Every structure is written in C-alpha cells, then in structure tokens.
A and B are shown apart, each in its own frame.
Chain A
Amino acid sequence: MASIVGAIADLRQLDLMANGNTGLHRLDARAKVLATLAFILAVVSVNKYELAALFPFFLYPAVIMALGDLPVRHIAKKVAVVLPFALMVGIFNPIFDQTVLVRLGALAISGGWLSFASILVRATLTVGAALILVAVTGFPAICQALDQLGLPRIFTVQLLFLYRYLFVLGEEGSRMARARELRAFGGKGLGLRSYGAMISHLLLRTWLRAERIHLAMLARGFSGKFHPRRTTRFGGRDFLFLAGWSGLFLFFRLVNVSRLLGTIVTGAPR
C-alpha cells in the first residue's frame, strides 16, 4: 500500500509542475489538449511493422519537456510504470508472427518482434504525451478545455470530482493500510480476507463522504446545474501551436522521415 502513497505523491508533483509559468504553461489548454490528441492519433495509426516511422515522433515530447522545464527523469519513471502493461499486450506477437521481415546480415527479425517493439514504443509515446499534457496544463484546466470543446458537462464534472477526491480517498486508504500493517506484525495478517473487508469499508466511507459533499452542495444552492467557469481566450499563439504541431504530426505520419534520412545519408534506397 506504500505504493498508493507514492502514486498520490507523484500525482501531486505532476500537479505542482502545472503551476510553472513557461510560455507553454500559458497557452490555452484547448490548444494543448487538441495537439496531444492529434499526436496520439498519429502515433497509434502508424502501421504496426513500421517501427522506424515512429522515431521522429519523439521530437514532440522532447521539445515540450525542454520548453516546459519538466524533469525528464521523473516523467520517464512514470512512463516506465505503465510499460509492463504494454509488454503483456505485445508479448505473444513474436511467437505467433514469425514471418521474417527484416534481415540485418545473418540476423533475421520477424514481423512479430517488429510489432512487439512498435507496441512498446507507441505506449511510451502516448503515455508520455498524456503525462506531459497534465504537467504543462494541470488537470482542472484540461477538464475545462474538454468542457469548452463540447464534452458533456456531466463527464467533466465527474473527472473533476474524481481528481479532487483521489487525494482524500488515497489518504484514507493509506491510513487504513497503515492500521492493518501495524497490527499484522510483519505477517500476512488475515491475508486476502482483511483486504476484502478494507475495500468494502473504503467503499462505504466513500459513499458517506459523497453524501456529505452533496449536502454541502445543496447547502450552497446547488440545483443540479453546474455553471460555466471563466472563459479563456484562444489566441493566435494557441492557434500557431496547434496548427504547427498537428501539421508536423501529419507530415511524420505520411512521410517516413527515418527512411528519408537514411536515403539522404546513404544516397540509395534501402
């Protein structure tokens, strides 16, 4: 359960980064959300065997991290947490897909290995881009952007509540875990059974808290309607940011830049 405390601390850190004041932070959140969406679409739509076509996309996270003053190691560590899932998704590709697609001298690389590597690279890129978006925008601003872009308010409000109470719930959970640990004396305690009880208890607490929050909302005149927050201006800079990056992603997607570079350097198509 220590990992829960760690995860919450990490989230807070990401949130703190969003308080930065670089040119990137000041951009309208909508521009950043849309650019990230374009990035993710471009990356996931690349053909699964075209591993090389993915590499130019690393330019985007690299530039944003540099301009946004983000700690690269921290973001890299967060991405590494998610990679095992991608690993599980792609692990059987090399076994089922043994058609040899690339030969490097005596080494034959099958399509399975290529698509496996492609999954890992794509996971790194997309997860990285999402984390970077949060780090330069902040979660509430992202929700507001989604709201302004037309996502039904009930979803954005849900997201905001989720984010607000993640911290509270995380702390409650870790307090319960600590209480259990202190009385388990290093052993497993009652094993899985005690976790079952803890989770149901946590659910009940969440429920009660939700009721109290609802009460607090009613006490302040809530009648089921959320009012729009202050609007921000989508200016020329924001448009340039969005158009520039989206154009570049489209270019990367249509032209295999790695191969192009190879051709230019070696002077012949491979």
Chain B
Amino acid sequence: MSHHIVEVRDLRHVYPDGTEALRGVSFRITHGEAVAIIGANGAGKSTLLLHLNGYLTPSQGAIRIGDFPLTPATLPEIRRTVGMVFQDPDDQLFMPTVFDDVAFGPLNLGLDGDEVEAQVRMALARVGAGHLRDKPPYRLSGGEKKRVGIATVLAMSPDILVMDEPTSGLDPFARRQLMALLKDFHHTRIFTSHDLDMVLELCERTIVLHEGEVMADGPTLDIFRDEALLAACRLEKPFAMQGCPVCGGKPSPPEPHG
C-alpha cells in the first residue's frame, strides 16, 4: 500500500518577506505510522504541514505522497489522499449545518446523493457525532467541533491524516475522547502538537523541528529521554515522564501505542 507513504526531501521554504521557515527538511513516513512533529513556536511546524497538501509551494526540494510527486497536476488526488484537520475548527466548519459541512468534501469529489449520504453517516458515526448532523457549527462545544472537523475529512476516505494541534483547547474529558478516537485509526497519521503527553501515548515516532531543521527523528521514547536535545529545542519531557511533584516518585512511562 505505497499510497500511504509521505516522503519529504530537502524541503526549503522562504516566505515572501524573506523569513526562512524551513531549511532542508527530509523524512519518510510509511504506511500506518503515527508520527508527531514537535518543536517550539516558530520552529516551522505549520509551514511544513501546509506543504503536505500543496497549499504552499516549496522554494526548493520535493514532496511525494504515495506514488505521486506533489505537482499542480496531482494536486486534486493528493488533497483527497491527505486529509487535513486544522487547529481552529471554526476555520474547518464553514457550512450552515454539520451535515452540509461533512458532505462538502464528498460532493466536491463528485459523489451522488445516496453515496454522499452514506459517507456522511459513516464519518459522523466514526467520531460519535451522528446526533449532531442537523446542528449549525456555532452551536457545538469545542470537543464536538473538533470531532466533526475530523469527520469532514474522514468523509473523503483519506489514506493519510494530518492534524494541527488536535488536542488544543479541549477539556480533559474531550481530550481523552479525541485521543481514544485517534488511537483507533489505521491511517498514516501526522500530528503537530505541544501536548507532549498526547504524543507519548499516540505516536511511536517523533520528529523534532528546530528553526526550520530536523534536529531529531526517532522513537518517541528515545527522544523524550534525551534531555539535552529537548532543552536545546525549547521543549521538555512530557508530564508522564517527570517525577511526581507531590511525592517525588518516579513514573513509569507508558509504552506508546503502535
């Protein structure tokens, strides 16, 4: 299943104002992997994500999604393959009702009425939001918005899920709910996040970006054990790997899920 592969080679991006956001990023993510891209603010995470479905064009370097290089000709196919969930669900949900919003992608893919209906039902059921289908987006809670946002992407049957800060702004319960959902997916998953505990639980592999360069790429646990690396990249260990502030006891980190 080579179409689940994401390959980035020597990617550079310079914004029109001269800011060098990415300076030669390379990695290869294979089928079914869950990978976190972490880094301080301004490390280039968002810029990188925007390249993965062709919204930004590389100043230099190349991206391959599955069997295709990312070019203007392959863009429509790649946008279907790579489902992108944005950080602010208010940007993601722009139609008058949840149903219309989830149907937006399938309609653009040219599906007809019944197929659209089936896709929407499947996607909403997948995220446990079937009862929300007739609600307008502005009347959903933060957690509901996030889940519906994921459904809008699932409705297009993507092979690769890219999510920008999936757990930001959620209460602990909604965060748990969302993480359980993401854990169950068998897509190739790419997350950016500052929620390192989520990264520890969901991603077996982590890529650390620092000032537009890949500082480290490897098993999540190894990276979080490297204190010098974390400090150099303005990061710190997930709370689950830090000592208990009350009793001083040492934690035993959970094995990340595969």
In the assembled complex, the Cα of A264 lies from the Cα of B111 at a distance in Å of 64
User: Across the interface, which residues of B come within 8 angstroms of A220, CB to CB?
Assistant: 79, 104-105, 108, 152-153, 156
Q: Which of A15, A140, A216, A223 contacts B94 (CB 8 A)?
A: A216
In the assembled complex, the Cα of A9 lies from the Cα of B157 at a distance in Å of 37
- Given the contacts A218-B79, A221-B80, A213 and B91 also touching, CB distance less than 8 Å: yes
Inter-subunit contact B138/A167 (CB<8 Å): yes
Nearest Cβ distance between residue A221 and chain B, in whole angstroms? 3
Asked if A229 is an interface residue, CB under 8 A from chain B, the answer is: yes
- Given the contacts A216-B91, A220-B108, A223-B108, A229 and B79 also touching, CB distance less than 8 Å: no
Inter-subunit contact B138/A221 (CB<8 Å): no
- Given the contacts A220-B156, A221-B80, A221-B105, A160 and B113 also touching, CB distance less than 8 Å: no
Inter-subunit contact B55/A227 (CB<8 Å): no
User: Across the interface, which residues of A come within 8 angstroms of B139, CB to CB?
Assistant: 12
Q: Which of B96-140 contact A (CB under 8 A)?
A: 96-97, 100, 104-105, 107-109, 113, 136-139
Inter-subunit contact B100/A209 (CB<8 Å): no
- A 191-221 to B, binary, CB cutoff 8 A, 1 in contact else 0: 0000000000000000001001101111111
Q: Which of A1-46 contact B (CB under 8 A)?
A: 12, 15
Asked if A239 is an interface residue, CB under 8 A from chain B, the answer is: no
Which of A167, A218, A222 has most chain B Cβ within 10 Å?
Answer: A218
- Given the contacts A220-B104, A221-B76, A215 and B55 also touching, CB distance less than 8 Å: yes
Inter-subunit contact B91/A219 (CB<8 Å): no
Asked if A230 is an interface residue, CB under 8 A from chain B, the answer is: yes
In the assembled complex, the Cα of A139 lies from the Cα of B96 at a distance in Å of 9
Asked if A161 is an interface residue, CB under 8 A from chain B, the answer is: yes
Asked if B86 is an interface residue, CB under 8 A from chain A, the answer is: yes
Which of A139, A167, A216, A227 has most chain B Cβ within 10 Å?
Answer: A216
Inter-subunit contact B109/A219 (CB<8 Å): no
Inter-subunit contact B79/A217 (CB<8 Å): no
- Given the contacts A167-B138, A212-B88, A227-B107, A219 and B95 also touching, CB distance less than 8 Å: no
- A 208-249 to B, binary, CB cutoff 8 A, 1 in contact else 0: 010011011111111100010110000000000000000000
* Residue of B with least CB distance to A210: B91
Nearest Cβ distance between residue B90 and chain A, in whole angstroms? 5
User: Across the interface, which residues of B come within 8 angstroms of A164, CB to CB?
Assistant: 94-96, 136-138
Which of A15, A140, A223, A227 has most chain B Cβ within 10 Å?
Answer: A227
Asked if B188 is an interface residue, CB under 8 A from chain A, the answer is: no
Q: Which of A166-201 contact B (CB under 8 A)?
A: 167-168
Q: Which of B35-75 contact A (CB under 8 A)?
A: 50, 53, 55
In the assembled complex, the Cα of A219 lies from the Cα of B136 at a distance in Å of 21
In the assembled complex, the Cα of A15 lies from the Cα of B80 at a distance in Å of 34
Nearest Cβ distance between residue B96 and chain A, in whole angstroms? 4
Inter-subunit contact A222/B108 (CB<8 Å): yes
User: Across the interface, which residues of B come within 8 angstroms of A92, CB to CB?
Assistant: none
Q: Which of B80-96 contact A (CB under 8 A)?
A: 80, 82-84, 86, 88, 90-92, 94-96
* Residue of A with least CB distance to B149: A216
Asked if A155 is an interface residue, CB under 8 A from chain B, the answer is: no
Asked if A58 is an interface residue, CB under 8 A from chain B, the answer is: no
User: Across the interface, which residues of A come within 8 angstroms of B80, CB to CB?
Assistant: 221
User: Across the interface, which residues of B come within 8 angstroms of A230, CB to CB?
Assistant: 113
In the assembled complex, the Cα of A18 lies from the Cα of B83 at a distance in Å of 34
The 10 closest A-B pairs by CB, nearest first: A221-B108, A140-B96, A220-B105, A227-B107, A212-B91, A167-B138, A219-B84, A216-B92, A216-B91, A213-B94
Taking A221-B76, A221-B109 as known contacts, 8 extra A-B pairs with beta carbons closer than 8 A to each other, sorted by chain A number, are A165-B94, A212-B86, A215-B50, A215-B86, A215-B91, A216-B92, A219-B153, A221-B105
Q: What are 28 of the A-B contact pairs (CB < 8 Å)? A: A12-B138, A12-B139, A139-B96, A140-B136, A143-B96, A160-B95, A163-B96, A164-B94, A164-B95, A164-B96, A164-B137, A167-B138, A212-B86, A212-B88, A213-B94, A216-B92, A216-B94, A217-B94, A217-B104, A219-B55, A219-B82, A220-B104, A220-B105, A220-B153, A221-B108, A222-B104, A223-B108, A227-B108
